Each structure stands twice: as C-alpha cells, then as structure tokens.
Amino acid sequence: MAATHSDKAPDQAEPRYDRESELKAFDTSRTGVKDLVGSRVSKLPYRPTALIFSILIGDLQGVHEDSSKRKEMVCRVCQACEDWGFFQVVNHVIGDGILSGIIDGERRFHKQESEVKKEL
C-alpha cells in the first residue's frame, strides 16, 4: 500500500502557525541583545525557511561620479534594510572620530534601563 501525503487523520491537522504573533510576543519581552542573552533564551521564534544569507557590503567608491552606480547602491541598501536591518559600508568618508562617537552613543544607549530604551 502506498504512503499518503500525510499520516495524520483529518481531525489532527496541524494548527496554523502565526509568525507575526510569535515575533511580537518575543520582541516585547526583550529590548536588545543584552536582555536576550541575560534572559537565557533557549528557543527563538520559528523561521520556516533556511537561513542562508550574506551581509550587504556597500562600496561607496565612485557613487558620486556614476549615477547608475549610486542608484544601484540605494536600491541594494533599501533591500538590505527591509530584509535584515543592517549592512556594512566601505569606502565612505566618515572619519574615525565620528565613528567612535557613534559607537560610544550606541554603548550608552544599551546601558540604559530597559524601560527607557522601550520608550525610544
């Protein structure tokens, strides 16, 4: 006898997965990586697809001289923001002093109490 597509009886159908609700519950319980690690989370929300990705590395060299390259980079950065929320930029003209200030500001933000961070 051939196997059927599902061995479950019709009345034992799997419940419909609600990713949005699960992510919302997960997100509201923590305010960042520090809280995530501190909470000793042992399970992350289910992701139905395999995690195969590469981080966008945005090379800004020549974007001021070549409008097609600039347009392509803007599209790639938008897509990276929508899909992953971050990307890396190389060949920019931001000085080390400014970058250090940004990193210091991030550290100060993450050292704040959870309630203060949630407001922002």
> Stretch 78-91: mean pLDDT, rounded?
87
Q: For residue range 4-58, what is the model confidence (pLDDT) as tens digits?
A: 444 445 455 556 667 777 777 666 665 666 666 666 666 766 666 655 667 888 8
With residues binned 3-state (H G I as helix, E B as strand, rest as coil), the percentages for the chain, rounded to 5, are: 50, 5, 45
pLDDT digits (tens, 9 = 90+) for 104-119: 998 999 888 888 888 8
Q: Is residue 2 over pLDDT 60?
A: no
Write the pLDDT tens digit of every residue in 54-74: 788 889 999 999 999 999 999
**CB of 38 closer than 8 Å to CB of 28:** no
Strands (E), the chain: 57-59, 88-90
Please say whether the beta carbons of 81 and 74 come within 8 A. Answer: no
